[in-house]
Amino acid sequence: KPGNGGTKGKLDFKPIPPNTLDSFVVPNGYDHSVVIKWGDEVVPGAPRFDLAKQTGKAQSKQFGYNNDFVGVIPLGRGGDKALLVVNHEYTNENLMFPGFTTLDALSTEQIKVAMAAHGLSVVEIERVDETGEWVVVDRGRRAYNRRITASETAFQFTGPATGSAWLRTAADPRGTTPIGTLNNCAGGVTPWGTVLSGEENFNQYFVGGDAVPAELKPRYARYGISTTARYPSDSRKWDRVQERFDLAKHPNEANRFGWIVEVDPFDPESKPRKHTALGRFKHEGANVIVAKNGKVVAYMGDDERFDYLYKFVSDKKYIAGDSSYARKNNLSLLESGTLYVAKLSYTSAAEIDGTGKLPSDGAFNGTGKWIKLVSGNKSFVDGMTAADVLVFTRLAGDKVGATKMDRPEDVQPSLVTGKIYAAMTNNTNRGVGTNAAADEANPRNANKHGHIFEITEDRGDHTSESFSWALPIVCGDPADSATYFSGYDKTKVSPISCPDNVAFDSTGNLWISTDGNALGGNDGLFATPIEGPEKGHLKQFLTVPRGAETCGPFITEDDRSVFVAVQHPGELTGASVENPASNWPDGDIAKPGVVVTWRRDGGFIGA
Ligand code: FEO
Ligand code: CA
Ligand code: CA
Ligand code: CA
């Protein structure tokens, strides 16, 4: 029964130690279960998963691969039904297909499976009795269930770049209707119940970049598309199945990816949208907060070494409630507004030596400006039109001198304090060779372990063009002097490396999941108070199996359930279906899956 255990908001759980187990580990007193995993039925009537006979058609109805973002959106008012919305970022063909040798040797059917295993899933789930456990609803009651794929699903562009010359292709001469979504990484649930999803490393899916017009090559190269070789070394060669992935023939196709996607899970027939007003880069995700004046503000990171932090402020205002008038208004909020990039100033710049030593004023901190790039059809960047700025946003950020960060991943505002938290996952190139050296916001050269960046908007106004910032956590082994946990007693802090996604419980504790733990243990999920005397008391809440990263996370509004996505279990060098590095979750081949964790006594998570 709920309500027995713990004080809401307290993080009194006993942290779990670092480990390298091939299992999902939770603290004493907690339980967990797999909600859904790769190959499970999503669309009613999906064939049962068959490792030996996978088809693109079957996969397009089954749960995709490499689940990343997890959103749990209440369905109805009872609190016991919800829509689970999940991103499927990429595929590990060597762990998916028996007998895998090289990407080159994949059959066209296997490529179709991989394409259909990308995208998103919408799955109706329900709570088990009154516990914190959730399961997929019975067959026959899955009216909302939906798969969105890289290969088939039609999208709609919105915003100022829609129809611009950059987005037109032979198949879509009006530049309005891209097909599919790629490399969907993190995301966010909007206040109006939709999901935003970031198209991240879309560059890797294209070939023929060597043959794009010469004047375009620097732009494409800035987005990581190879412009020197027809086939980059790790190419998936999807052009074998869909010619549009060949930039020699369809140079603009790449411009149709790298956007923030909005999906309305309550309308399975709706066409998902790509919002050009939010710019194009390697979008990690986007999280929205309603500003005091009613406009909505989306915070976003561009996950690349030395790339930037962005925010978008809508023109129109949010309308509360779920009337059709409010819904229609809110669904249009991300279609027009102003896009900004962050430029920082530093308090103790002269004291930063790249070792991570805390400045003498006791904090890594400073101020910053949101530099306006484009507002509607008006560009604020010299030599670039509004469409140029929106389609080649990285170049606009370069021109205005935005601050180069250590790989901005998930960026999310706390609904409790209004402060914004961003995971800078790592940047081993910081200060190496001719690369930018450490600064106060990215204070370690060869930054292996990453840090957390906190933004406080001036006057608490999310539409403000100026802010202050600080680093509450500089990650690593707390025994390492180049780490910082807001001054908290480091002997009580769990080691953490490579923060990727952030989330909050209802009281505003910060939950951080990791990807690529450079301390050697498995990745996991951590929680820390971010205000008050316990600020910086970071503790490890769970770990995921060998080779996996921890994605999601999502804590339900009642603080009874924490969802995480176990992404790429068994992704270790040399692993294959025949020689797996993980057997999670079935004891069979490794399968990415979404897991829910809850307290056995029904109490509050973490308390
Ligand atoms: Fe897909 Fe930035 O992690
Ligand atoms: Ca990520
Ligand atoms: Ca998040
Ligand atoms: Ca990552």
Place of tokens 């560009």: 379
ipTM reported for the complex surpasses 0.90 = yes
Nearest to 408 by CA among 440, 371, 450, 447: 450
Ligand nearest to the CA of 504: 3
Mean pLDDT of 218-237: 95
Q: What is the pLDDT of residue 220?
A: 98
For CA atoms 231, 236, 237, 242, give the dihedral sign. negative
User: How does pLDDT run across 268-284, given as a tens digit for each residue?
Assistant: 999 999 999 999 999 99
Q: What is the pLDDT of residue 140?
A: 78
User: How does pLDDT run across 33-62, given as a tens digit for each residue?
Assistant: 999 999 999 999 999 999 999 999 999 999
What number does the ligand 1 atom closest to the CA of 201 have? 1
Q: What is the pLDDT of residue 7?
A: 87
Q: What are phi and psi of 324, to 5 degrees?
A: -65, -30
Neighbours of 535 (CB within 10 A): 17
> Residue 587 has which token pair?
């004891």
Nearest to 202 by CA among 166, 148, 162, 256: 256
Ligand nearest to the CA of 282: 1
- Tell me, in angstroms, the distance from the centre of ligand 4 to residue 410's CA: 9
> Residue 391 has which token pair?
């389609």
Contact between 414 and 530 under an 8 Å Cβ cutoff? The reply is yes
Q: How far apart are alpha carbons 463 and 459 in whole angstroms?
A: 10
User: How does pLDDT run across 548-593, given as a tens digit for each residue?
Assistant: 999 999 999 999 999 999 999 999 999 999 999 999 999 999 999 9
Nearest to 185 by CA among 541, 423, 471, 510: 423
- Tell me, in angstroms, the distance from the centre of ligand 1 to residue 181's CA: 15
Task: Determine which of 4-18, 32-46, 243-257, 328-342 has the lowest per-residue pLDDT on average.
Answer: 4-18
Q: What is the pLDDT of residue 4?
A: 60
Give the CA distances from residue 540 to residues 81, 294, 422, 436, in Å, rounded to whole numbers and listed in that order.
29, 37, 19, 32
> Residue 450 has which token pair?
């990453």
Question: pLDDT-derived band of residue 14, with 50, 70 and 90 as boundaries?
Answer: very high
Neighbours of 269 (CB within 10 A): 6
What number does the ligand 1 atom closest to the CA of 515 have? 3
Ligand nearest to the CA of 90: 1
The residue ranges of DSSP E strands in 458-574, in sequence order, are: 466-474, 484-485, 499-504, 510-514, 524-528, 539-543, 549-555, 561-567
What number does the ligand 1 atom closest to the CA of 89 have? 1
- Tell me, in angstroms, the distance from the centre of ligand 3 to residue 213's CA: 38
Contact between 549 and 500 under an 8 Å Cβ cutoff? The reply is yes
Contact between 605 and 505 under an 8 Å Cβ cutoff? The reply is yes
Query: Which helix H or strand E contains 345, and what residues bound it?
Result: strand 337-346
pLDDT of residue 239 exceeding 90, the answer is yes
**Which residue lies with its CA nearest to atom 1 of ligand 1?**
185
Nearest to 355 by CA among 169, 247, 484: 484
Nearest to 273 by CA among 189, 389, 373, 157: 157
Contact between 376 and 368 under an 8 Å Cβ cutoff? The reply is no
Q: What is the pLDDT of residue 142?
A: 84
pLDDT of residue 5 exceeding 80, the answer is no
Contact between 257 and 151 under an 8 Å Cβ cutoff? The reply is no
- Tell me, in angstroms, the distance from the centre of ligand 2 to residue 514's CA: 9
What number does the ligand 1 atom closest to the CA of 282 have? 2
Mean pLDDT of 597-605: 95
pLDDT of residue 240 exceeding 60, the answer is yes
Report the b/e string of 239-260 with b at 16+ CB within 10 A: bebbebbbbeebbbbbbbbbbb
Q: Is 293 exposed, middle or buried (0-12, 13-18, 19+ CB in 10 A)?
A: exposed
- Tell me, in angstroms, the distance from the centre of ligand 1 to residue 83's CA: 23
Q: How far apart are alpha carbons 45 and 22 in whole angstroms?
A: 32
pLDDT of residue 1 exceeding 60, the answer is no
What number does the ligand 1 atom closest to the CA of 407 have? 2
Q: How far apart are alpha carbons 590 and 13 in whole angstroms?
A: 29
Mean pLDDT of 516-524: 98
CA 71 to chain centre: 11
Ligand 1 pocket residues where CB is under 6 Å: 89, 185, 200, 284, 303, 409, 500
Place of tokens 């999901």: 195
Largest CA distance in the chain: 66
User: How does pLDDT run across 343-361, given as a tens digit for each residue?
Assistant: 999 999 999 999 999 999 9
Output the CA torsion 39→41→47→50 (10° steps).
20
User: How does pLDDT run across 78-126, given as a tens digit for each residue?
Assistant: 889 999 999 999 999 999 999 999 999 999 999 999 999 999 999 999 9
Q: What is the pLDDT of residue 233?
A: 87
Percent of the chain with pLDDT over 90: 97
By DSSP bridging, strand 309-317 and strand 337-346 are: antiparallel
| Identity of the amino acid at 257 | F
Q: Domain extents for the chain?
A: 30-200+258-599
pLDDT of residue 2 exceeding 80, the answer is no
Question: pLDDT-derived band of residue 130, with 50, 70 and 90 as boundaries?
Answer: confident
Ligand nearest to the CA of 288: 3
- Tell me, in angstroms, the distance from the centre of ligand 2 to residue 529's CA: 22
What number does the ligand 1 atom closest to the CA of 301 have? 2
Which residues fall inside 5 Å of ion ligand 2, going by CB?
185, 409, 500
- Tell me, in angstroms, the distance from the centre of ligand 3 to residue 84's CA: 15
Length of the chain: 607
What value, to the nearest 5°, has the Cα angle with vertex 390 and ends 241 and 415?
A: 100
User: How does pLDDT run across 182-222, given as a tens digit for each residue?
Assistant: 999 999 999 999 999 999 999 999 999 999 999 999 999 99
